[in-house]
Amino acid sequence: MDGILVIRKEKGYTSHDVVAKLRGILHMKKIGHTGTLDPAAEGVLPVALGRGTRLVELLTEKEKTYEAVLRLGVSTDTQDMTGTILSEKPVTVTEEEVRETVASFVGEQMQVPPMYSALKVGGKKLYELAREGKTIERKPRPVVFYEIRILDMDLPLVRISVTCSKGTYIRTLCNDIGEKLGCGGAMEELLRTQSGNFTLEESMTLSQVEEAVANGTIGERIVSIEDVLSMYPALICTPEGDRLLGNGNPVPEELVQGGSREEKVRMYKSSGNFTGIYGWDERNRNIVPVRMFFVLNFLQKLAGADMEYLKIDGEFPRLSGSAVTLGKF
């Protein structure tokens, strides 16, 4: 199985818990998630399977959308309601003041990561230091709030929808809104409704995955690598360029049908077989590999017949070492 399985993470599980359980359910080891969700949070968690794990870096970069409940009038050490309450204040602000303050966070912001986070400082995770009673200085990081909408307001509770860049902490946003209003604030609930192009509607709980495996329909729920990369234009090699492509080598523009000078394109052999992502190299005037998905034949020498699934058009391509991983998404 190669591709993406869209999981609906339930409360109480870490993202690593989900991966561990899927390894048992699907009986495969090569699985990785594409964006951490706190145990108290729930929602969309795209999980990469097999060759799809080479998509993790790309998918982690994508913007995400959340629904969160902000409770005004309270501040905690974790910036959500699972933590220890540090202060409580009466909420005397008006709904209009809340709307103006929330709107002020839209756009580029510098956000200070919370102490209770998995970020590492000096090789140690921040939440480990926080549990030891230590607080260290954290440098603000650039984040972008593309949209923040108020869905419902019944003070002191405010339900918001947030679309943001990677690496954004919604509980820190809740804390910062509360601070700006002067009464404090903490996140009470968090639901990720979208990650990149993956939505809550297409997600599956772990129990639903087990059912799909049992009735043989799990393959229908896996999003193929090609579908995930469908935002990139497709190029097809000429028969003369197939060997270069099969070896993971740069391909001259004249050996590509309908040549494209896009930053990233999906490359196919003349037979229609997808091989990987290529990009235009202006300096050398050719199309070069960025990330290969179906060309790793050097492993054939290491594992022989066990690597049958790596064959393209019934045979192992010859691979130059440069094609293993070139560049980043």
Q: Which residues are catalytic?
A: 38
Distances (CA, A) of 109 to 37, 106, 144: 21, 8, 6
Q: How far apart are CA 188 and CA 157, in angstroms?
A: 9
The beta strand positions in the chain, using DSSP E, are: 3-9, 31-33, 42-49, 64-72, 74-76, 85-88, 107-111, 120-121, 124-125, 141-154, 157-164, 185-195, 198-199, 222-223, 234-237, 251-252, 256-257, 265-268, 274-281, 286-292
Dihedral of CA atoms 157, 163, 169, 172 in degrees, nearest 10, equals -40
**E strand or H helix that includes residue 102:** helix 95-103
Q: How far apart are CA 324 and CA 293, in angstroms?
A: 9
CB 159 within 8 A of CB 153: yes
Alpha-carbon Rg for the chain, nearest whole angstrom, is: 23
- How far apart, in whole angstroms, are the C-alpha atoms of residue 76 and residue 70? 12
d(CA 125, CA 115) in angstroms, rounded, equals: 9
User: Within 13 Å and on the Cβ side, how many CA atoms surround 136?
Assistant: 17
Q: Is 280 helix (H, G, I), strand (E, B) or coil?
A: strand
Q: Which residues contact 30 (CB under 8 A, 6 or more apart)?
A: 49, 50, 53
Task: Fill in the amino acid letter for 224.
Answer: S
Name the burial class of residue 269, with classes exposed (0-12), middle (13-18) and buried (19+) by CB atoms within 10 angstroms of its CB: buried
42-49 and 185-195 beta bridge pairing: parallel
